[in-house]
Structure 1
Amino acid sequence: MVSGQLFNHKLLDVVFENANYGTIIIDNNGKIQYISNKYCEFLEVDREDLIGGYIVDFIENTRLHLVVQTGKSEMGDLQFLRGSFVITNRIPIFDDKEIIGAIGTIIFRDLDDWKKMNSHIKDLLARNNLYTPEVDQANGARYSLHDLIGNSHEMNELKERVKRVAGGDISVLIRGESGTGKEIIAQSIHQLSTRSTKPFVSVNCGSIPEHLIESELFGYEEGAFTGAKKGGKVGKFRSADGGTIFLDEIGDMPLHMQVKLLRVLQEREYEPVGSLQPKKVNVRVIAATNRPLEKMIENREFREDLYYRINAIQLVSPPLRERTEDIPLLIQHFFEKAKARIGKRVNSIHNDVYELFKKYSWPGNIRELENVMDAGVHLSNEEFLDIDALPEYIKRDSENIRRDSEKIQKKTLKELVEETEKEEIERTLKNCKFDKNKAAEALGISNSTIYEKIKKYGITE
C-alpha cells in the first residue's frame, strides 16, 4: 500500500525532532506509521508500543482518521488531550490524487511551554464562558481563574503567578487572611494544571479533631481499632491520587501529623492506620494558612523542614482593604449572583452603597462582602438596593465614618499634625518594645526629643 520508504523513521526524525511540535502520521487504514519522540514524551508512552496500532486506540478525541476519509485539512483546532487543551493541525497526505494517510501535529516548543500554553488556553476559554469548571465538578473543583474577581495590580499579578505555577507539580503555599479566597486560588491552580481531570480534594486541617486527623488523611485498615468500618476506609490522600490535595489551615495541623505529612512529600508514600506496608501516592500538595508560620517555627509549633517543603512557591492573597479599586466589580458580581440565587429582581444599587463599601475596612474580606450583598438583596425593594437594606453593623459603621469625617473637618491643622505625630510615636514605640532610644533612631529624632514628646502626649507603656 505505502512504501516503507515514505515512512522512513530515521529520515522523519531528522525532520520532525527539530521542529517545535509533536508529530504523528497514519496510513489510510488509521494505523500509526510514525510518531515523534516529542509526541511520545507528551503522551508518556514508548514509541514501539504505538507503531502499527490504530490511532483511535491511543489518542483520545482524535479526528486524524476522519481527515483520511474526508480529505479535508483541519487547522488550528483545539483538542482535549490528557486532561488539557492542545492546538492541533490535521493534514491529509496525497499520492497522485489518492489519499494514502494523514499527518497530525500538536504545537509546543517543549513540555514546559505546552503546560504554560495549556493554562493560558483554559483561562481564555473560561473568561469567554467556553470552558467552565462546572463541566469538571466531578473532580471536586468548582472554581477557576475567572472566579478571582478584580483588575487591580495586586490581583492581575496574582492571576499571572497562578498561571505560571499551574503547569508544574511543585508544592504551593497560599498565604492570606480569612475570607480572601485562598481555596479559589487553589482550585484555579488545579483547573489550569495537567491534573485537572483528576480529583481535587480539600481538607480543613483545623476542623478535624486531633485524634481523627491521621485516619481522615491516610485512611485505615479493617480492624485497625475498635469501631473501625468493615473493609477499612480510604483516606483523603488516596482519594486525591493523581490529582491535587488542598490542605487548608495547615498551621493548625498537630505536630505528630506534620512528621507524617513530611514523609508523604518526601517519599510519595504513606501508611494507613493499622497497615504494615506503605502505599504509594501521586498527588500535588497545595497548602494555605492565615497564621504566622515563621513565628510558629520559632515557638516550635510548626516544623521548619515541613515549612520549606510546602513553601516551594508562595502566593499571597491580598486583603480587600488593599485593593479597594476592585470593590465596585465585586459588588456587581455578588449582586448578580445573589439575585440569581434568591430569584429576586432588583434593578440597581444606590451610589451611597458604593461609597460606603469603599470606606469600610472589610475585616472579613470577600466572604464578608458576599454575605452583605446577600443580605442586601434579601432586604431591598424591587427598585434598588440602598443603605437601608444593609445589615445594621454596616449602617452603624457608615454613621461612625460620617461622624469621624465631621470631627476631622472641625480640627485645626495643628491638632491634626499633633494627633498624627502621637499615633506614629506610639506605633514606633510598640514596634521597638518601648525601647525609647531605638524608637528615636527609627523616627530620625534625638533621644531628648522623644522623651519630650512622650511627656507631652502622655504616652505610657
Structure 2
Amino acid sequence: MFAAHENVKNSILEAIIDSAYEWIVVVDKEGIIQYMNRTYAEFLGENIHSVTGRHVCDVIENTRMHKVVESGVPEIADLQYIRGNYMIANRIPVKVDDEVIGAVGTVIFRDTGQWKKMNSHIKSLLHELEFYKKDWHEKNGAKYSLQDLEGRSEKMVHLKGQVKKAASSDLPVLISGESGTGKELIAHSIHQLSERSGKPFIKVNCGAIPETLFESELFGYEEGAFTGAKKGGKAGKFGLADGGTIFLDEIGDLPSHMQIKLLRVLQEKEIETIGSTVSRKVDVRIIAATNRPLQQMIVQRQFREDLYYRINVIPLNVPPLRDRKEDIPGLVAKLLDKITSRSGKRIIGVENDVMNWFLSHQWPGNIRELENVLEAASHFSPGEIILADFVPGISHERVTAVSGEKSLKEILQETEEKVLRDTLRDCSFDKKKAASLLGIGKTVLYEKIKKYNIQEV
C-alpha cells in the first residue's frame, strides 16, 4: 500500500515537471544525464528514455552543465544558443556535505509562439548592439585596452600601474621604447581608461606624413585655401580629436616648423586651420610616442627643448622583450590565438626546443619580431605543435638571423627555402616524394626549386 502511494506521488511529480514551463536536465558529477523532462527532450529531437546515460555535451549544444559540476559555481540567466534559438539558462550545482555530486539545469521559456517572438526580439537587439559597437569603434579609434597588454613580470606590473595613474589625469604623456615593444597599445589603454574614453582617439604617424602636408593633416583647411583644396574644406586631426585624445606616434620625426605649431597648440589650446583668420579652441589630450633619443636630438638641435618638456609631463618607458623574458610564454599563447583566428589554422603551442630558443633569443625587433616569427612558423608547420625545424632563426644552417627590420614576406620566403632544401635533402632529391611530404604538386615544387635555384648535390 505504501509502495503504491509512493508510485502515485512520483507519477504526479514527474507529470508536473514534464508539463512545467521550464526545460529541466539533471547531470551527475561526470556530466552524465540522469534526467531530462519530456518537453526539453522533444525540443532537442531526442527520445526521453535514450538521453539518460549519455554525456550532456552529446545531447545539448553549447552546454556548460559539465563546467558547473567542475567549478561548483552556479550560472544564472546565461544566454545559450540551442538549435537556432537563444535560450536563458540557469545551471545550479548540487552539493552533499560540501561535495558537488551533480547539477540541475533549467531553460526558461513560455510557449512556442511567445518564445519565437522573444527569440526574434533578442536577435534583433543583438544585431543592433553589434551595429552600434562597430560604429562606436570606428568613431572612437581605440582598439586595445589594458587587458591586451600581456605580461606578469615585475616591470610590466609596474608599467600597468603607471598606465592606470596616467589615465586618471589629463596631462600629456610621452611613451618611449624600442620599435615593436607595444607603445601604441599603451596609448590606446590610457585613452580607454580615461574619462575621455567615449570621445575620439585619433592616431597620427608623424613619420608617415609628407612634410608639405603636415599642417593641413593636423589642423585642416578651409574651402579654397589652396589649389586642389576639397570643396567644403577638411577637418584636421586636432579638430577630429576635440574632446578626446590625439596620439602622435614617432613624434621624433615631426618637422621643425610643425614642432613650433604644436607647441602653440599645447600652450594656447587652440588651432588655426589653413585659410582661416580665426583661431578655434580645442580640448585635446596629447599622448606622444618615440623610439628615438629625444634628449640627444635636443643637443643636436633636431628637437625643441621647450616642446620636449611640454609633452614629457608623464614619462612612460616600455621595456624591451629581452628584459622581461618571463613574459614570453604568455605572449606566445596570446599571439598564437591571434594568428590562428586570423588564418583559421589550428596551432595549439610550440615544442620545448622552440620555447627554449625563444627564451634565449635577444629579440631586437621585440614583440613585433616574435609575432612575425610565430606567423611564419605556423604557416609552414604541418601539425598543431610548432617544431624547431619550421622556426626562422633556429637552424644553424641559416646564414642570416631574423630581425625586427625584416618583413613577414621576407621571413616567409627564407623559411620556405629552408624547408624545401631540407625536405629535398632528406628525400635524396626524390622530387615526387618531396612533393608528397610537402603536400604540393610536382609542378609547384619544380617552380619553387627554380625560384630558389636549388641544385642537387
* TM-score bracket for this pair, using the shorter chain length: 0.5 to 0.7
1:342 aligns with 343
- In structure 1, how many angstroms separate the alpha carbons of the residues matched to 2:209 and 2:399? 41
8 A Cα contact 1:199 1:242, kept in partner: yes
- In structure 2, how many angstroms separate the alpha carbons of the residues matched to 1:270 and 1:388? 56
Which amino acid is 1:375 matched to?
A: A
2:160 aligns with 159
1:383: how far off? Answer: 3.4
Matches within 5 A, 1:8-407: 136-138=136-138, 139-391=140-392, 393-396=393-396
8 A Cα contact 1:149 1:330, kept in partner: yes
CA RMSD in angstroms, aligned pairs only: 1.9
Matches within 5 A, 1:420-459: none
Flag the 1:349–1:232 CA change in 2: closer, same or farther, 3 A. Answer: same
- In structure 2, how many angstroms separate the alpha carbons of the residues matched to 1:325 and 1:400? 26
Which amino acid is 1:332 matched to?
A: A
SS in 1 for 2:286: strand
How high is the sequence identity, in percent, across the aligned residues? 62
1:346: how far off? Answer: 2.6
- In structure 2, how many angstroms separate the alpha carbons of the residues matched to 1:268 and 1:261? 10
SS in 2 for 1:302: coil
1:395: how far off? Answer: 3.0
8 A Cα contact 1:356 1:398, kept in partner: no
Flag the 1:224–1:331 CA change in 2: closer, same or farther, 3 A. Answer: same
- In structure 1, how many angstroms separate the alpha carbons of the residues matched to 2:166 and 2:357? 37
- In structure 2, how many angstroms separate the alpha carbons of the residues matched to 1:277 and 1:162? 37
1:135: how far off? Answer: 9.0
Q: Which deviations, in whole Å up to 9, do the C-alpha atoms of 1:283-308 show, x marking residues without a partner?
A: 10000001111111111111111000
- In structure 2, how many angstroms separate the alpha carbons of the residues matched to 1:320 and 1:135? 35
1:335: how far off? Answer: 1.3
Which amino acid is 2:261 matched to?
A: K
- In structure 2, how many angstroms separate the alpha carbons of the residues matched to 1:215 and 1:194? 28
- In structure 1, how many angstroms separate the alpha carbons of the residues matched to 2:187 and 2:301? 27
- In structure 2, how many angstroms separate the alpha carbons of the residues matched to 1:301 and 1:166? 30
Flag the 1:148–1:200 CA change in 2: closer, same or farther, 3 A. Answer: same
2:118 aligns with none
Unmatched runs of 5 consecutive residues or more in structure 2: 1-132, 402-457
TM-score normalised by structure 2 residue count: 0.57
SS in 1 for 2:156: helix
8 A Cα contact 2:333 2:349, kept in partner: no
- In structure 2, how many angstroms separate the alpha carbons of the residues matched to 1:224 and 1:396? 60
Flag the 1:239–1:394 CA change in 2: closer, same or farther, 3 A. Answer: farther
1:255: how far off? Answer: 0.7
Which amino acid is 2:216 matched to?
A: S
- In structure 1, how many angstroms separate the alpha carbons of the residues matched to 2:195 and 2:353? 45
1:134: how far off? Answer: 7.5
SS in 2 for 1:353: helix
8 A Cα contact 1:348 1:384, kept in partner: yes
8 A Cα contact 1:250 1:287, kept in partner: yes
Q: How many residue pairs were aligned?
A: 268
Q: Which deviations, in whole Å up to 9, do the C-alpha atoms of 1:139-194 show, x marking residues without a partner?
A: 10100001110101110000000001101110000000000000000000000000
- In structure 2, how many angstroms separate the alpha carbons of the residues matched to 1:134 and 1:352? 41
2:18 aligns with none
TM-score normalised by structure 1 residue count: 0.56
Moved segments of 4+, more than 6 Å: 397-401
1:345: how far off? Answer: 1.6
Unmatched runs of 5 consecutive residues or more in structure 1: 1-132, 402-461
